[in-house]
Structure 1
């Protein structure tokens, strides 16, 4: 599979690559967009439902206040006060009349309210008045230290609220919340009895059951997490809500969170009443909310398809734009393979392909330059071979002649002639036999010693020699016959023509990755125009002929060996002298830095 793909054309591979690259983020973007939009919808719905819960809690708060106002009205009603002050031993007729008056009061109260309430007045004089069909036994035979009566006594006349708890809900609870207060004589403050207002669960449920358009489950909780009322399911009324989100409900004022209800994902939205401190919690199925974002999903799919079409078209256009200039470059390369070096790549842009085309043009120029260099190398090689052949004319005859001269000089006790013959013989033997690309510096220095000895005999006290050669540099490699031509040039064209004696200074040292050879004389120097011609390799008339290798030849050899980074720098001033600075790379035996013949053999 991979092999087949790699064998496709570049245009096809680019199209496939960019389509795949574009599809992956598009798919992720589509999924992300849908999920994000779903989250936004969930958040918006949660905010809307939360706003509804806030309004519902305000209604519950109003309901609370209305119950409080109702209890105040009954508490301070003159009829109630007078009836509860009466003796429990009064006549039955009087009790009947009192009962009638309280019933009329209840009728007035119930007529002014839309809510169904059960009102009980429990007198300390054993009077019992109520609005329902019967009086619960726990109110008839009440205990002062039990439940709502204990709380009412502790409140000392203030209204208190009591939630009806249960351990297990065997049958639906009708009354879930009660308000109660101790009725006291408004003049003396003496207790007269209790006012109990029972609130049925249906009365509370009517306040909040229509607060949402979803098939949700709503709970009204007290401060301890017990269910006061719920809708539509009433199974948990009176019980403590068993759900892991309860801690969030109890510890926070309002909010919403994702949760699980009946093994399905739900969103729980809750709010706390400012006055009642009741918790109103709404569980809404997440699926119903997501259905509202289905339109966004369809739009996302349509946009993804449109995006894929655009990506396909863009990939084709890009691949075409990218491969056409490459195809042109391949055509030009084939022409170069056939030997046509006049081709040139033209690009309108400075992008990578344009730069590649420029590099191609530079490569063609470099090839042409290398061809020219190769021709020059061949010419230098031929010259060197011719000069070598000249130098090798009957070498045995020359060696034998020099040895004969040395023997005769010794016999005649002319030591200087013997030394000259030996030195000249060693020089000829070194120049003829040294055909290596690189030699150890100390070998070339031995040749230089012979040469300077001969020149010293020739010129006597014409010049002094100062040598400063670093010991570690003597083991480095250099091209053979590199220093002697520079010394010869300094003596012949500088010191020999100077009036009086002069000084020749030779400094050789290595520093870092470079080897430096500095040769300085205080001879007659040279004119600027001549110096410029030498630096441009044009002063051919000044090349010495008696050594076979001149100054310019050395300069060219260094450039051919090591490149333009290395070479010869010449400084000269008329009547002040000349300084030649040679820079070479540090090469040690076995380093492998020069792995081919520099002149292309």
Structure 2
């Protein structure tokens, strides 16, 4: 009941806002007279002849006609009279020709206007002062005093009660009984024309917004709601039988129950279809998948369906066949890998044999006092020993530099000290690790392709430093360099063999750490070559 009452009041409030807007439009018609120069001229000018006055009155009539053309509210004006303190009078309206102005100014409304302190006064509904009762028996009037400097003008305007009939007949429910009351509680509008201009006798306070339940004259319970209109003293009262309200809600409840029951039945039918066409086939497929979890090989399920479940079954069968094929390929690859490891184990005999032979040569050189041969063989033997001993792919950077030093010593002997190697190392790199054998191929490239073709002695500079989250190895030589087009293609061409060479180092870095790492080559023909190795920072603990 509370929600019904709230909805009823909301509708009445909406109707009240519409009426307040219409009544403000009537007030604006009078306010427009205050600022119209034609009207002001008539009541402030001193006319030398009646002809001038007659022409100004004609102009005023034209002003009203223009306003009436712009707004259809003027067609409801019964009488509009402007009475000036200079004795001039302007008339407009359908019934103003039958209005006696002398009798008009003797009515009670003039006294009410005098006490209004210059404000507009809604006089309410009353019998038409014009002698046209057969045509317009009742009018609603309002009045205001206009101030044109030293001259006062009294405005009286009445409009036909038909205005509210046209406005309200279509704006409320025909089951409801609507009353529009003026400031004297007289009925301005109701569907029963015979009670217009009579006092509203229902014992409720029409000046307060609210609703209450009362009994009508025939004993029926009705809901009575009232809403005061702002700035006019008017109000709206609307009544409706409670049975009409509850009848609508009872119908809604019955319809809701029927719709609910139909929805339940329809949902049951849909669920039966879904269970037979979708759920059950999916459950069968799920049971087949559970057999895969139980390590049952070559699980296949058959289905002749052409819908999405059939496609799912076909894809499952394809996946199982592919998994089986990949499994077989994996077994074959594993067998090949085991065979390769066996061959690699056999191949380790050759380095061991070579190392033992070199060790014998070193002792023979020591006995013969051939120190140069002894030192060279000793370095080569250490290089081979470290190669055989170190099987990890990641080694400390200082060990990588030790291997590089042994390699450089051998090459210096080979090339009769044709070059020198300088090291620039940051102390912080001691705790880091790197891929094994990434520096030796780079230095080898610098010697063979940079320094060897050069006539004079060359210099190779090896720099190792940290740059944000990277360890950077730079190998710079002042050899013959290479053309730009050669340096750009160097990493994309096969370089060296058996995994030794620039391309090998570049690919190892990218396969191990990703595309953000690898080699960068910068060279200028006849001047230098700089190869930069970008390597991630790896602490010894992390690698371990």
TM (normalized to structure 1)?
0.43
Structure with bigger gyration radius: 1
Q: Which has the higher contact order (CA 8 A, sep 6+)?
A: 1
TM (normalized to structure 2)?
0.46
